[in-house]
């Protein structure tokens, strides 16, 4: 099977893209020559076939990454040099942002403008942030032991890191993982999602152009149960960093524990609540919550998927949310004005429609949406959907739908709102809408979630830590915490 193929990209023409494995700065086929297929979510038709990395390929990639870690990367390279390469990488990504955005849009179904300006833009920013942080990390000197003894701490890179990412933000999740790992001095064996492997592979060509030594970034497209499992169980991988579902996170933790007890960080699912108090500006709150739930067609781990509204403004808020739902720019991903594209796959679409049916059967009221988009023409769209008058016993309130569906109900007191918000196994994000600053502080403190947005939604920045409480994960990405997740601390006791 060839390692590259040529595809037709809307508004871009013919583009050659890699479809092989990237090991030791070379494109190679899978050791057993097998491939897997992807589907275009906007048409439902076959898209591109990619090489499928075997257990043996994982082993070859790990050997290459280990060699690089011991020789051309890690502690062998000054942090300023790692930073310079990462800055160059970000510049090349920015140079190619139109092409990368078009490819991301085609593979994932996102509107092309959002893929280019948000997904690529945020990824460039994350690479630059971690490039800037690479030489600003340092240990401590501890002088509690008398004049002739002291202790200093070193922050050392963990080593060879497996990284396994999902399909909803293929480039952003790639950048949030690769950026801090390389800045810290780790080498990487990356496995993109089997649904959206293309842009992570395109980034390999840019890595080579930037000048990263062979083995620093190896990239292996493949299925979770084979390639992903082989990474999680590999005896010479020091850490696995994962973003995806709770069920897979649990499997990876078990595989890591059963093999070499490699370190594990997990960014998992969510069922994030928005609390709208009586004093909130209803129109503004509805606009933020709408963006929070329907951005990326609801396929977002922080999606504002539950909304609790104080009883005095409930009807007004639901009416305002409906207006926002019906304003969503549903359309073809290649259209610059589209903000709401198809879901990633038929499986995902059918799962979301089944949840909506279960909500109906359990007594929820469908305020708007609730079905396939009637102009979908083979693609996997589901309309922006509001299910009102829901209650905590319903499946749609308890489980992550990962689609464009919000469930709504009323509360009367602040205490009740906090209880409802925390009534979930998840704890990724939450939002609070109130004009009472003291209430913002009280409620933010009481909600069990890694991110709280007050009078806004979905704001992210590479300097701000991100991660989950409860089943939503272990560890943090972004910010200084994100870099530290790729370091270990050594305490050196000196006796002069
Ligand atoms: P998923 O768990 O099915 O797959 C994620 C990745 O894990 C893919 O690359 C897949 O191939 C791999 N994988 C699957 N089985 C594996 C196994 N046994 N061993 C190793 N790897 C395996 O998740 P998904 O459907 O791609 O993504 C959706 C989920 O991800 C949602 O639950 C969502 O909330 C979550 N998510 C979380 C965040 C976050 O930052 N918290 C961000 C994006 C998505």
- How far is Cα 482 from Cα 486, in angstroms, rounded to an integer? 7
In the DSSP assignment, the letter for residue 40 is -
Per-residue model confidence (pLDDT) at position 146? 84
Tokens of 241: 């960093």
- How far is Cα 232 from Cα 218, in angstroms, rounded to an integer? 15
User: What's the pLDDT tens digit per position in 421-470?
Assistant: 999 999 999 999 999 999 999 999 999 999 999 999 999 999 999 999 99
Q: What is the largest CA-CA distance in the chain?
A: 78
Q: How far is the CA of 249 from the centre of ligand 1 (A)?
A: 7
Tokens of 19: 């479809």
Which helix (DSSP H) or strand (DSSP E) does residue 487 occupy?
strand 487-495
Question: Which residue's CA is minimally distant from atom 42 of ligand 1?
Answer: 301
Q: Is 170 in the pocket of ligand 1 (CB under 6 A)?
A: no
- How far is Cα 374 from Cα 370, in angstroms, rounded to an integer? 11
Residues of the chain with pLDDT under 50: none
User: What's the pLDDT tens digit per position in 53-81?
Assistant: 999 999 999 999 999 999 999 999 999 99
Per-residue model confidence (pLDDT) at position 145? 84
Atom index in ligand 1 nearest the CA of residue 231 equals 20
Atom index in ligand 1 nearest the CA of residue 247 equals 2
Residue 267 annotated as catalytic: yes
């Amino acid at each position: 099977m060839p390692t590259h193929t040529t595809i037709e990209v809307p508004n871009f023409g013919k583009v050659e893209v890699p479809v092989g494995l990237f090991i030791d700065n070379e494109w190679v086929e899978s050791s057993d020559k097998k491939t897997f297929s992807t589907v275009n979510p906007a048409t439902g038709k076959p898209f591109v076939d990619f090489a499928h990395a075997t257990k043996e390929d994982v082993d070859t990639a790990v050997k290459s990454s280990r060699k690089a870690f011991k020789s051309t990367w890690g502690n062998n390279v000054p942090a300023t040099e790692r930073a310079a390469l990462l800055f160059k990488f970000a510049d090349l990504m920015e140079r190619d942002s139109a092409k990368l955005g078009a490819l991301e849009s085609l593979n994932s179904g996102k509107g092309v403008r959002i893929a280019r300006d948000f997904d690529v833009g945020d990824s460039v920013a994350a690479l630059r942030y971690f490039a800037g942080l690479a030489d600003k990390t340092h240990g401590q000197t501890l002088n509690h032991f008398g004049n002739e003894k002291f202790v200093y701490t070193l922050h050392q890179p963990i080593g060879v890191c497996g990284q396994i990412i999902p399909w909803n933000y293929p480039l952003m999740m790639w950048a949030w993982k690769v950026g801090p790992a390389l800045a810290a001095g780790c080498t990487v064996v990356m496995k993109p999602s089997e649904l959206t492997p293309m842009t992570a592979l395109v980034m390999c060509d840019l890595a080579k152009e930037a000048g990263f030594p062979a083995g620093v970034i190896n990239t292996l497209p493949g299925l979770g149960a084979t390639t992903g499992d082989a990474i999680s169980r590999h005896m010479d991988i020091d850490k696995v960093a994962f973003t995806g579902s709770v069920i897979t996170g649990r499997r990876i933790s078990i595989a890591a524990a059963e093999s070499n007890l490699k370190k594990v960080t997990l960014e998992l699912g969510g069922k994030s609540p928005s609390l709208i108090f009586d004093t909130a500006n209803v129109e503004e709150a509805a606009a933020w919550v709408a963006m929070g739930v329907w951005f990326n067609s609801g396929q977002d781990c922080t999606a504002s998927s539950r909304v609790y509204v104080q009883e005095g403004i409930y009807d007004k808020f639901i009416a305002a949310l409906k207006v926002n739902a019906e304003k969503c720019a549903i359309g073809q991903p290649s259209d610059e004005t589209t903000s709401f594209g198809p879901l990633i796959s038929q499986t995902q679409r059918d799962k979301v429609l089944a949840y909506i049916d279960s909500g109906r059967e359990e007594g929820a009221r469908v305020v708007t949406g609730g079905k396939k988009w009637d102009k979908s023409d083979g693609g996997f769209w589901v309309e922006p959907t509001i299910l009102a008058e829901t209650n905590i016993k319903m499946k749609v309130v308890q489980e992550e739908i990962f689609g464009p569906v919000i469930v709504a109900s009323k509360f009367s007191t602040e205490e009740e709102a906090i209880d409802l918000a925390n009534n979930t196994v998840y704890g990724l994000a939450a939002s609070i809408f109130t004009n009472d600053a003291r209430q913002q502080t009280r409620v933010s403190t009481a909600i069990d979630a890694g991110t709280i947005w007050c009078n806004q939604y979905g704001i992210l920045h590479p300097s701000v830590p991100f991660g989950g409480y409860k089943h939503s994960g272990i560890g943090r990405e972004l910010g200084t915490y994100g870099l530290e997740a790729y370091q270990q601390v050594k305490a050196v006791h000196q006796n002069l």
